[in-house]
Amino acid sequence: MALHTVNLLPGARATEAALAQLRDGDAVLFHGDGAWHAAAPGLDAWARSGATLHVLAADLAACGLAERCDPRVAVVDSAGFVALTEQHAAQRAWF
């Protein structure tokens, strides 16, 4: 199980590579520009991966998306981010 931190805008070229690496039991944390995925039509591809989906609350709010976050994405604070890193020994950053 790995934690994938995603700081990619929807439609970024590296998105397909990131999606191809996801496995059941992995977790995805959208942060920075990646917070836009939490409300994007392309979220379906991430949801089908079998990974749990999370977004950093502060970044979601900074994008003005707090009211539009897809219910399949768990909103976490900094402590939640730390908890995800503790739960997943392997980590992969996508930017």
Query: Has this prediction a pTM greater than 0.75?
Result: yes
> What percent of the chain is predicted at pLDDT more than 70?
100
Q: Please provide the average confidence, as pLDDT, over all residues in the chain.
A: 96
Per-residue pLDDT tens digits for 50-61: 999 999 999 999
Tell me the sheet residues that pair with 93: 5
At residue 42, the pLDDT reads 87
At residue 74, the pLDDT reads 98
- Segment 21-39 mean pLDDT: 96
At residue 87, the pLDDT reads 96
At residue 72, the pLDDT reads 97
Domains in the chain: ranges and CATH = 2-94 (3.40.1260.10)
